[in-house]
A = this chain, B = another copy of it.
Amino acid sequence: MQIALLGGTGDIGEGLALRIARDTDHEVRIGSRKAEKAESAAEEYRAELDERGVDATVTGHENPAAAAPADIAIAAVPAYYLSDTVEAVADELDDSVLVSPAVGMQRDEDGLHYNPPGLGSVTALAVKAAPDDVPVVGAFHNLAAAKLADLDADLDWDVPVVADDDEAKATVVDLTGELDTLRALDAGPLANASEVESLTPLLINLAANNDGMHDLGVKFW
């Protein structure tokens, strides 16, 4: 498959790009608003993978060009940019599954709080911004970016996945299952996205309040 990482130059885009390239045979297409930025990130990722003896196809493009041939397009951008990013690639998403990992959060003196949009979840924002016939899957909401991007780190984390389209959900569950030390779990339909998203500020609050804990993920059992 071809996997586009829209906004794949930072945050969890980097970690997903590196791990998909290392752990699978899929082609990774880094997207950015500026082609040069995406090309530069792709070059950096190729160099890191090359150092590890991994021969992978990682290329950089403007977001719409990254999305055009993609089987899966992951909108790896902050919640604030999600709608704009999806709308900018909307014409290129036919035959793609759109994946939304963004979480809306707000910080105050107590910690980080879940701050969903009026639609109920950020994943629901992606559904609204995408064309009606593009299946949307919520996944990768709870991954700590720095640890994800550290290819020496064993994650042993679970990834709750929500979607209304069973085939699209299975595609993302299978991709996640190909990634070393990540396990996909079915969290039900898109309407269950807010409970998945709100886990992220909890992870950050726990890391902030407990000595020796940082870059937390979660395992369910």
Q: Which of A72-80, A89-97, A187-195 contacts B (4 or more CB under 8 A)?
A: A187-195
- Any chain B CB within 8 A of the CB of A138? no
The B-contacting residues of A in range 123-177, CB under 8 angstroms, are: 156, 160
- Any chain B CB within 8 A of the CB of A85? no
Nearest opposing residue in chain B for A215, CB measure? B221
Copies in the complex: 2
> How many residues belonging to A are interface residues under a CB distance threshold of 8 Å?
34
Contact A111 B192 (CB under 8 A): yes
**A191 to B195 Cα, complex, angstroms:** 17
List, in ascending order, chain B residues with CB within 8 A of A201's CB.
192, 195
The B-contacting residues of A in range 198-221, CB under 8 angstroms, are: 198-199, 201-203, 205-206, 208-210, 213, 216-221
Contact A188 B205 (CB under 8 A): yes
Contact B202 A186 (CB under 8 A): no
Contact A221 B219 (CB under 8 A): yes
- Any chain B CB within 8 A of the CB of A86? no
Nearest opposing residue in chain B for A162, CB measure? B205
* CB contact under 8 A between A113 and B194, given known A185-B210, A210-B185: yes
Q: Which 3 A-B pairs have the closest CB atoms?
A: A110-B191, A195-B202, A186-B209
